[in-house]
Structure 1
Amino acid sequence: MTFNVNSSLSYVVNGPTTFIFNIQALNTNNQRVLEEKLEIEPQMNFEQYTSHDGNSRFIRLKVQQPTNFTLTYSAVVEMNYTIIDESNSAKTVPVVELDSYIASFLYPSRYCQSDQLMKFSFKEFGNYGSVYETVVAITDWIHANIEYTLGSTNSQTSAINTITERVGVCRDFAHLGMALCRALSIPARYFTGYAYQLNPQDFHACMEVYIDGNWIIFDSTKLAPLNGLVKISNGRDAADSAVASIFGNAIGTNVYVNCQVTGEYFEPFNYSNNQKGISFQ
């Protein structure tokens, strides 16, 4: 499956400001960037670099003088995903057997206070027969109990805020799901990307959960098919995978995002209780 992805971000800069952007499609074993283009208008010098774990591609831009500018990105991305049958899923890999990278996604983080949600997690989700069933139950609970409302939260909203206020957007749904998984000793990481058939189009966030040696994707918003996602980044939470980080005096004025399939037949895939998951690792 091949996708065309596009994004554009515009800013008014009032004083010296450094920007770090994270909007480029990631190259992975199952996702290949066939072609891409990055432009800044007016033209400015910028630096590109990759995170130490290879899970993010960053653009760093330093603006010294007041100005307006627009960053535009486009890419053609080939996606190959794996359907994983979890009908015979075993218990989660014991923590003692996890390598250091996987184990890092068990810890509480800035937006995922899993240590404060352990009692709730064990009460609500501690009695399922498999890890997959547990994560499906968590995903369904969030979908049923948290109201998805655009503009309802901000960059300070955490999993604790979301479960208390019962409202949020995609990043809040992801943070809460990850926190509940980690509270049950199930590794979970943040996923940000482009999403085909998301309405309205925007950058999208969900979670990947480590089950039986595979990172399987779950989206409690259920707003886009899981096989219509193009990965930008993974991280412990949105602090690692923010689309734009601003250090200085600047205001965002416009965001445009689009993701389309390139003329192929598309059959949407969504997780369900048929015990099949999807992996992009």
Structure 2
Amino acid sequence: MILQESASPADLLTVRIGCKFIYEVSVPTPALLDIEPHLEGVQQLLGESLSIGGGLPTESVSNSHDNHLLRLTLPPGETLIQHDALVEVLATEDLYGVEAAEFVTPDKLPADYLRYVLPSRFCESDRLASFAWQTFGHLPVGWPRAKAVSDWVHHNIEYRFGSGHFELSAWDIFQRRYGVCRDFAHLTIALCRALNIPARYVTGHLPDIGFIDPGSPMDFHAYAEIWLGGRWFALDARFNVPRIGRVKISHGRDAVDCAFFTTFGAVKLNYFEVWAYQIERGTVHVGDPIDLTKRLDGTLTMRRTLAR
């Protein structure tokens, strides 16, 4: 069911998100951490805890996309980083209203959004422009073209778990025809930008609300957002269906702007775990052990929180 955006408390869902990982370095190594929710719109933080190496000093900074980062220095040896949060989101499918959203030509875009129609390191829209216009240029502008891009990527790129690599770009994926969610996002963005549709890269959590649990380990997720009708809409060619309950961490031109951990030196990842699932508000507290018996998602039935 698609709900109106002017949702009442009965239409709000609570999602538990978090991650735990251990990094090892041999010398002091500067780093940037980007794992906390990007609070915007109706995404509301109910509670949060973040532990970094038992109390390593950090400095809060923001980048040019208004993402919240923490700057720190990893000491020699292992460092445990753990984040846990409860976030309230609307029980609304993320493409609600997109069909009526109008396309804005580049000459009328807000100045800050022009970067989202230009090529970037991992989204070479200039190299894909000829293919994009030949394949989608006959369609009506705006959403029909963006939807066709998502459909094409979904049906022509094979999702292959574990095939990702930090050097691969949209052009690489276009040629080899398989990849992971990062690659689906980069190719979607590049094709949309080639058609003058503003598009940006997003990292975050995607619980399986109203969606069958695929059975794979929970992980961070990457997808695209397109700007139509004065707002951003999620465009996720990996699944190619509207989803509920996304929790955004970062957005930017491509994966360079949204890495959950950036180190300025050699580093080894010794442990990695991510969680994102719907819970009944008040039954779980930040820092509680991960208990999937309290999970409400993973089925085609969406269970709402009762009005408070």
The reply to whether TM is greater than 0.5 is: yes
Mean Cα deviation higher: 124-133 or 139-148? 124-133
Aligned to 1:106: 117
Q: CA deviation at 1:32?
A: 1.4
SS, match of residue 29 in structure 1: coil
Aligned to 1:213: 230
SS, match of residue 166 in structure 2: coil
Aligned to 1:145: 156
Selected match of 2:275 from 258, 266, 269: 258
Q: Does 1:156 align with 2:183?
A: no
Task: Provide the rounded CA distance (Å) in 2 between the counterparts of 1:83 and 1:126.
Answer: 22
Task: Provide the rounded CA distance (Å) in 2 between the counterparts of 1:223 and 1:7.
Answer: 26
Percent of counterpart pairs with the same letter?
A: 33
Letter in 1 for 2:24: V
TM-score (norm 1): 0.88
Question: Quick one: structure 1 residues 124 and 223, their matched pair in 2 at CA, closer, same or farther if it must change by over 3 Å?
Answer: closer
Mean Cα deviation higher: 171-180 or 121-130? 121-130
Aligned to 2:126: 115
Q: CA deviation at 1:88?
A: 4.3
SS, match of residue 163 in structure 2: coil
Task: Provide the rounded CA distance (Å) in 2 between the counterparts of 1:233 and 1:103.
Answer: 18
Mean Cα deviation higher: 178-187 or 39-48? 39-48
Q: How many residues end up aligned between the 2 structures? A: 266
Q: CA deviation at 1:14?
A: 1.2
Mean Cα deviation higher: 243-252 or 80-89? 80-89
Task: Provide the rounded CA distance (Å) in 2 between the counterparts of 1:152 and 1:191.
Answer: 19
Q: CA deviation at 1:128?
A: 1.4
Aligned to 2:56: 44
Aligned to 2:204: 193
SS, match of residue 249 in structure 1: coil
Q: Does 1:249 align with 2:266?
A: yes
Selected match of 2:42 from 20, 23, 30: 30
Letter in 1 for 2:19: S
Aligned to 1:72: 82
Q: CA deviation at 1:107?
A: 0.6
Letter in 2 for 1:69: T
Please list every run of 5 or more consecutive structure 1 residues that lacks an aligned counterpart in the other structure.
Answer: 270-281
Q: CA deviation at 1:31?
A: 1.0
Structure number with the higher strand fraction is 1
Q: CA deviation at 1:130?
A: 4.0
Task: Provide the rounded CA distance (Å) in 1 between the counterparts of 2:59 and 2:200.
Answer: 27
CA RMSD of aligned residues (A): 2.1
Question: Quick one: structure 1 residues 31 and 252, their matched pair in 2 at CA, closer, same or farther if it must change by over 3 Å?
Answer: same
Task: Provide the rounded CA distance (Å) in 1 between the counterparts of 2:184 and 2:119.
Answer: 16
Task: Provide the rounded CA distance (Å) in 1 between the counterparts of 2:183 and 2:65.
Answer: 24
Quick check: 2:21–2:269 contact (8 Å CA) kept in 1? yes
Quick check: 1:26–1:33 contact (8 Å CA) kept in 2? no
Quick check: 1:191–1:207 contact (8 Å CA) kept in 2? yes
Aligned to 1:169: 180
Mean Cα deviation higher: 127-136 or 41-50? 41-50
* Per-residue CA distance 1:139-194 (angstroms, 9 max, x = gap): 11111111111221310100000000001100100000000000001000011001
Task: Provide the rounded CA distance (Å) in 2 between the counterparts of 1:12 and 1:224.
Answer: 39
Question: Quick one: structure 1 residues 15 and 28, their matched pair in 2 at CA, closer, same or farther if it must change by over 3 Å?
Answer: same
Please list every run of 5 or more consecutive structure 2 residues that lacks an aligned counterpart in the other structure.
Answer: 1-12, 282-295, 302-308
Quick check: 1:195–1:230 contact (8 Å CA) kept in 2? yes
Selected match of 1:9 from 21, 24, 38: 21
SS, match of residue 117 in structure 1: helix
SS, match of residue 3 in structure 1: strand
